[in-house]
Structure 1
Amino acid sequence: MKRMKMRLRLFIQLQCFLIGSLVDSSILPSAARPLSITSTAGSQAVLPCSWKTSLGEVAPSACHVQWDTPPKTIFERYGDAEWQAAEFKDRAVVPEEKLESGDCSLIIKDVQIGDTGRYESFMVVEEGRSRNTRVFIQSVKLYVTDHKSQHFHRPGEDLVLELHTPHSFRVVFQSRNSSEWSDLWMRGDENSPRLDKHPILEQLTLKKLTSSDEGTYKVIDEQGLAVSTVQLSVEENLPAFKAHQTLSNIPTDDAAKSSYSALLALSVLVSSFQILHLL
């Protein structure tokens, strides 16, 4: 009997742990936590916002939205008038027609690594001729990650390096047998017989690969941050399953943590059923 009680107590403790591990912050009320948005450099990010959650269904007399990266304002729309901070020039927008219907989401085009941070949205409500009140709507954490990939090619083939964004400024190279980084390309460079920048697309082609081209290539933006990292292998007897293969989307830390949490929860669930079977 005593042994059974101990098993039952252990089972209850494991169940509590399982429930705790399955409770993700994403199911908590939005008012209690900021939303988290993850995007990759060069893509488009949408930072959610709905003023109806705070102001109700009745639209303010004039829709006036502000987005901050505390402590400064980086975007503002009032009717058809729009303002953007210099670092978001021609990249940030809240469509006027969506704003009037309640959607104050901020769209950031061509997101950069440096855009990572916390964003807060506010609606400015008129309370008289000379008084306005800012009503807090939503807090969003934006994470912008770099691209990681691994390429396999045979000698004589070409490597196409994606620059991902017009803000990519240079490409650096580290040979497999070296610890030194060297400049391979900078924006504005003229094309060479082996290195060619596409006239329209953000692509750089390294032609007629040799074994000396093996190593790591990094695309760097104007702030010196890595937009992408490419590992290149050049093999004469490349297996058929590796030919022209590109391994992309290497899991980020957040993805790894999510996978670990899922495995942990599954492990506890299996153990719980095993214990229940022994009771």
Structure 2
Amino acid sequence: SSLTGSLLLLSVVFWQFVSAAEEINIKATTGAEVTMPCSDPDDNPIEVVEWSKSGLGAKFVLLFKDGMIDLSKQHPDFKDRVELLDYKMKGGDVSLVLKKVQINDTGEYECRVIQKADGEELRMKIYLDVVAPPPPPDQMMIGD
């Protein structure tokens, strides 16, 4: 029974570790620019950065590999609207900047980083909630 207890403890610890691959929630208004944070604290040389969004299939929001952005694998919805915050990736920063945010940008994004040295992976999930901006004050009283 101590084996069962150990396995239970291990599964709880593992579950906590997996859930600690925290999901960050970000709210943005349409037309705005939003930065989705992602960083690899190890600061080892990075080989690949994959920014994906659930529901895009095999296409990426942004794919960085071999020192450059691979536009052939980019989903057309994100063409000319995304970039890395810092292409030098100082301090392992691979945050994504999304411009001209649209309602259909709402959803779950994943940042996946693969290091050159050991192929180690880091994943972060971000949920982006896009809302329409409130109407200007002079248009709020229409119908009076």
Fold similarity call, TM over 0.5: yes
Structure 1 letter corresponding to 2:32:
S
Q: 1:146 aligns with which of 126, 132, 137?
A: 132
Distance 1:75 1:34 in 2: 19
- 1:76: which partner in 2? 63
- 1:85: which partner in 2? 75
1:44-59 pair list within 5 angstroms: 44-52=33-41, 56-57=42-43, 59=44
Distance 1:33 1:107 in 2: 20
Structure 2 letter corresponding to 1:66:
E
1:223-234 pair list within 5 angstroms: 230-233=139-142
| Structure with bigger gyration radius | 1
Q: 1:35 to 1:145 in 2, by over 3 A?
A: same
Contact 1:118–1:140 (CA under 8 A) maintained in structure 2: yes
Secondary structure of the equivalent of 1:101?
A: helix
Contact 1:149–1:231 (CA under 8 A) maintained in structure 2: yes
Deviation at 1:90, TM superposition (A): 0.7
1:141-220 pair list within 5 angstroms: 141-149=127-135, 151-152=137-138
Question: RMSD in angstroms over aligned alpha carbons?
Answer: 2.7
Contact 1:50–1:137 (CA under 8 A) maintained in structure 2: no
Deviation at 1:86, TM superposition (A): 1.0
What runs of 5+ residues in structure 2 fail to find an aligned partner?
A: 1-18
Q: 2:49 aligns with which of 65, 70, 77?
A: 65
Deviation at 1:135, TM superposition (A): 1.4
Deviations 1:36-64 (A, max 9, x none): 00010000111110111xxx24x12x442
Q: Between Structure 1 and Structure 2, how many residues are aligned?
A: 120
Deviations 1:156-207 (A, max 9, x none): xxxxxxxxxxxxxxxxxxxxxxxxxxxxxxxxxxxxxxxxxxxxxxxxxxxx
What runs of 5+ residues in structure 1 fail to find an aligned partner?
A: 1-29, 153-229, 236-279
Deviation at 1:231, TM superposition (A): 3.8
- 2:23: which partner in 1? 34
Distance 2:130 2:99 in 1: 12
Q: 1:105 to 1:234 in 2, by over 3 A?
A: same
Deviation at 1:35, TM superposition (A): 0.3
Distance 1:123 1:32 in 2: 13
**Percent identity (aligned):** 27
Verify: 1:135 aligned to 2:121, yes or no.
yes
Q: 1:150 to 1:89 in 2, by over 3 A?
A: closer
Distance 2:112 2:63 in 1: 10
Secondary structure of the equivalent of 1:149?
A: coil
Deviations 1:94-139 (A, max 9, x none): 1312x243111011011111000000111123468xxxx5713211
Higher RCO (Cα < 8 Å, 6 or more apart)? 2
Q: TM-score, normalised by structure 1?
A: 0.38
Distance 2:21 2:79 in 1: 31
Distance 1:76 1:150 in 2: 38
Structure 1 letter corresponding to 2:126:
V
